[in-house]
Chain A
Amino acid sequence: MAEPFLKMVDIKKSFPGVQALKGVSFEAYPGQVLGLVGANGAGKSTLMNVLGGVVHPDEGQIVIDGQLVMINSPLDAARNGVAFVHQDLAMLPTMSIADTMFITSFPTKTGLIDYKETKERCVRALRRLGFNFDPDTKIRNLSPGDQQMVEIARALLSNPRIIIFDEPTSSLTSREKERLFDVIDNLKKEGTVVIYISHLLDEVFKICDYAIVLRNGETVGGGPVKGLTYDDIVRLMIGSKQINQYYSRQSRQIGDTVMQVEGLRRKGIIEEISFSLRKGEVVGLWGLLGSGRTEVARAIMGLDPTDGGVIRIRINGKMQPVRPSDAKNWIGMLTENRREEGLLLPMSVKYNMSLANLYALSGKRFPFIDRKLENQQVKKYINRLEIKISGIEQKVSTLSGGNQQKVIVGRWLQKNPLIYLMDEPTRGLDVGAKADIRNIINELAESGAALLVISSEIEEIMSVSDRYLVMNRGHIVAELPAEATKEELMAAAAGVR
């Protein structure tokens, strides 16, 4: 291991409003598995997208095999021997394995696809991984693990010298995972540089030879895995300065249980989710990306199908089972994607704010809407939430992210449900708007609502929660009290037992 095969030197990249990479450098050697570790937003994916040609860096150099290279597109990356196995499988479900694997590189004969050759190559590529699929099998008939293998086989077609795995185990069963690790082991023996992105530490310890930890776009440490402990890595991930920082807040009056979820499950996505929410309480649902936290919220609201489980909600003083499709009547939800699922973008602020509460706005004029009452109510909540607009007829698409989010909050405040589910309520907002939303969460809890808050920013979830539920791979793996430290939360989410 004299010469590093890959060197990335002082890579910088900023996106509007955030510097994603602040000068990251690392080296990788052939026959070595390099683990890239970090919390969400640490810059792992951006760094690898730079290497994969998806993102163009502002500064920095990439050296492969002693040569300074420019990687401006995925095609350039492929030419330089870089292959990328993405987290989200980019599959064509209705097409065959052979078609999927060769979709950009069909062998041709006199201008037509040479299917005989295609299938032969396909079989050979799969055998290399120890698989014996029929190349005509449709992708949708494969398990996620097998699909992953096809994806890997496709990546290996070009005989890459560097292969990047981005969270490859997120949809795999434990047996499929073992198989993947065998494949990685083989690649390593063949002298390929393997870069393995993960936030699951047990995997990193199992298969990586070397690990580097990113935090806030910087390399904060690393070394041979043999010389590191779980605690070392967790500490690096969250930053030692901030350990044990406690967020002071007024203690809340926590009352009776208002919602109880029992054994909620969706095969392969979330398993046996049970918890309860009490009046006046903010529960932080914490977990890393892909842990199933968003899926829990969506299952409760009946937005995704479920395979079982009971949801009980306190209605007229009694806990009653509620079908997920009806849960919307008692729960206000802020979805993580406000433009796609939160707003009616082409419509006015007024229409957006009164959307969930039209019955109450009809007053004595049912079935018509009392326009005076509607204007009054909308203005009232615009004032309360301090939404900055030129008028209630302004199109909601022209507002800033923070004001848009407040419009959605205002929609639910009008309806005033008992329970709120907030998925990434401050995503993409500026610091001021984030603080506003946090205040609203606190005030809602003080006024007696029960809130389940999901966030990928640990500081944020710590600033509002009375209790934490920690998820990992679709399970709730821990329940921690308000006093839990950042370290404890991060360790639980990363699957450290």
Chain B
Amino acid sequence: MTLGKPEVQTLTKNQEIPVVLPARRSWLSRFAPLILLVAVIAVLSLFIPYFFTLTNFVSVLLQTSALAVMAIGETAVLVTGGIDLSIPGMMALGAIFGAMYMKAGGNPLIAIFIMLLVPSLLGAINGLSVSRFNMIPFVVTLAMQAITGGAAIWITNQLSISGLPQIFTKTMLAKIWILPVPVVILFVVGAIVQLFLTRSIFGRWLYATGTNIRTSRISGIPTERVLFFAYTFSGLMAGFAGVILTARLASAGAPMGKDSVVLDIISSAALGGVSIMGGVGTALNAVIGAIIITLISNVMNMANVSYYLTLVVEGAVLVVVVALDAWRRRR
């Protein structure tokens, strides 16, 4: 839209410029996830031998990469005030299609493209349902998770698709300097998304929409497009996670998309200070949240704690974090 816009000059009242002090933005709440991560690392370093080593850090990052990428996608949706419960299912279905294509002799590059495209399209369906048809995100994405999760099992007949071309797994797990490719993907994606969220017009729209959609609409923000994009982007991130996981497992199968992965994703975002109520949170902090979640489950694993107890702990952490968010908003 272009308007011939002469400046409104009549309002000029050149007064002294008010002192512009940086407002008391609570740096504590901004850096809380990072502080928490440092604290967790400090504690673990004291108790676990060889924890505080570069090799271990790289291996934790590699472990975290898929979850962190999904948490980035979830962040975009949470910031708009919505929620995406279908990330694992979309990821699994995309990965399965890509793996089937490779197994049938297809080009691994095209297979990767399929792994990215399928979840993006599924995410676009979520986006359309929410933005265009005013459907409730919770229900739409819950249904999408059921559909994709079910389809994944049905298509694979509960079998993993393994025996993928070596060139795919080798390349995807190769190291650039000391960093495996998935970690590089995480860094690059995280940096780009962080930049867009905090510095771009679109990022500003995303936060505005999540903070108050009515104000945003009146101010001329294309809120429908913003919502559509957020869900589609979440699908794309599911796709990246699918590529990473398929390479790490050297196979693709329905268990990748099991429902409990949603808990990991949302816990990561919440621990990273992304508000479940919209308008607050960054990609970087979601990644930090994912690292903390991975560390917690690693420790529980090492201590031979039952997987189910791990779920209990993770659920409790999520409740505490969301309670803190609600408390912060009430003040």
Tell me if A478 counts as interface (CB < 8 A to partner B).
no
CB within 8 Å of A: which of B185-228? 195-196, 199-202, 204-205, 207-208, 211-212, 214-221
- Chain A: CB-nearest residue to B329: A346
Tell me if A104 counts as interface (CB < 8 A to partner B).
no
Min distance, Cβ B223 to any Cβ of chain A, angstroms: 11
Task: Decide yes or no: A340 and B214 within 8 Å by CB, A358-B205, A393-B25, A416-B7 being known contacts.
Answer: yes
Residues of A close to B304: CB separation below 8 A: none
On whether the beta carbons of A369 and B23 are closer than 8 Å, the reply is no
Residues of A close to B279: CB separation below 8 A: 344, 346-347
| Chain A residues touching B, range | 35 or more
Taken together as a complex, chains A and B put the C-alpha atoms of A385 and B8 apart, in Å, by 12
On whether the beta carbons of A390 and B23 are closer than 8 Å, the reply is yes
Residues of A close to B3: CB separation below 8 A: 330, 416-418
CB within 8 Å of A: which of B1-28? 1, 3-15, 17-23, 25
- From A110-118, A237-245, A443-451, A486-494, the one touching the partner chain is A443-451
On whether the beta carbons of B8 and A413 are closer than 8 Å, the reply is yes
On whether the beta carbons of A351 and B200 are closer than 8 Å, the reply is no
Residues of B close to A383: CB separation below 8 A: 13-15, 17-18
Residues of B close to A362: CB separation below 8 A: 201
Q: Which one of B7, B22, B202 lies within 8 Å of A393 (CB-CB)?
A: B22
Question: Which of B6, B195, B207, B212 has the most chain A CB within a 10 Å cutoff?
Answer: B212
Taken together as a complex, chains A and B put the C-alpha atoms of A384 and B13 apart, in Å, by 5
Tell me if A26 counts as interface (CB < 8 A to partner B).
no
Task: Decide yes or no: A344 and B217 within 8 Å by CB, A379-B17, A383-B15 being known contacts.
Answer: no
Q: Chain B contact residues: over half helix, strand or loop, or mixed?
A: loop
Q: Which one of A303, A385, A393 lies within 8 Å of B11 (CB-CB)?
A: A385
Residues of B close to A344: CB separation below 8 A: 208, 211-212, 215-216, 279
Min distance, Cβ B203 to any Cβ of chain A, angstroms: 8
Min distance, Cβ B238 to any Cβ of chain A, angstroms: 24
On whether the beta carbons of B201 and A369 are closer than 8 Å, the reply is yes
- Chain A: CB-nearest residue to B275: A346
Residues of B close to A25: CB separation below 8 A: none
On whether the beta carbons of B5 and A358 are closer than 8 Å, the reply is no
Taken together as a complex, chains A and B put the C-alpha atoms of A411 and B22 apart, in Å, by 21
Total number of B residues with any Cβ neighbor in A under 8 Å: 45
Taken together as a complex, chains A and B put the C-alpha atoms of A74 and B320 apart, in Å, by 39
On whether the beta carbons of B5 and A343 are closer than 8 Å, the reply is no
Tell me if A308 counts as interface (CB < 8 A to partner B).
no
Taken together as a complex, chains A and B put the C-alpha atoms of A449 and B3 apart, in Å, by 13
Residues of A close to B204: CB separation below 8 A: 351, 354-355, 358, 369
Task: Decide yes or no: A358 and B14 within 8 Å by CB, A329-B1, A348-B23 being known contacts.
Answer: no
Taken together as a complex, chains A and B put the C-alpha atoms of A417 and B195 apart, in Å, by 30
Taken together as a complex, chains A and B put the C-alpha atoms of A369 and B201 apart, in Å, by 6
Taken together as a complex, chains A and B put the C-alpha atoms of A355 and B206 apart, in Å, by 11
- Chain B: CB-nearest residue to A382: B18
Min distance, Cβ B26 to any Cβ of chain A, angstroms: 11
On whether the beta carbons of B199 and A379 are closer than 8 Å, the reply is no
CB within 8 Å of B: which of A345-386? 345-348, 351, 354-356, 358-359, 361-362, 366-369, 371, 379, 382-386
On whether the beta carbons of A443 and B212 are closer than 8 Å, the reply is no
Taken together as a complex, chains A and B put the C-alpha atoms of A419 and B102 apart, in Å, by 58
Residues of A close to B9: CB separation below 8 A: 447
Min distance, Cβ B298 to any Cβ of chain A, angstroms: 35
Taken together as a complex, chains A and B put the C-alpha atoms of A369 and B200 apart, in Å, by 5
Residues of B close to A382: CB separation below 8 A: 18
Contact with B along A297-329 (1 / 0, CB 8 A): 000010100000000000010000000000011
On whether the beta carbons of B17 and A341 are closer than 8 Å, the reply is no
Min distance, Cβ A114 to any Cβ of chain B, angstroms: 36
Min distance, Cβ B280 to any Cβ of chain A, angstroms: 8
- Chain A: CB-nearest residue to B14: A383
Min distance, Cβ A156 to any Cβ of chain B, angstroms: 38
On whether the beta carbons of A328 and B12 are closer than 8 Å, the reply is no
On whether the beta carbons of A341 and B201 are closer than 8 Å, the reply is no
Residues of A close to B202: CB separation below 8 A: 367
Taken together as a complex, chains A and B put the C-alpha atoms of A367 and B204 apart, in Å, by 11
On whether the beta carbons of A443 and B11 are closer than 8 Å, the reply is yes
- Chain B: CB-nearest residue to A449: B8
Tell me if A389 counts as interface (CB < 8 A to partner B).
yes
Tell me if A172 counts as interface (CB < 8 A to partner B).
no
Tell me if A440 counts as interface (CB < 8 A to partner B).
yes
Task: Decide yes or no: A391 and B11 within 8 Å by CB, A341-B214, A355-B208 being known contacts.
Answer: no
Known A411-B219, A413-B11; further 19 A-B contacts with Cβ < 8 A: A341-B218, A342-B215, A342-B218, A344-B208, A346-B280, A347-B207, A347-B208, A347-B211, A351-B208, A355-B215, A358-B204, A386-B13, A386-B15, A390-B19, A416-B3, A418-B3, A443-B8, A444-B8, A447-B10
Task: Spell out B's residues near A (CB within 8 Å).
Answer: 1, 3-15, 17-23, 25, 195-196, 199-202, 204-205, 207-208, 211-212, 214-221, 279-280, 329
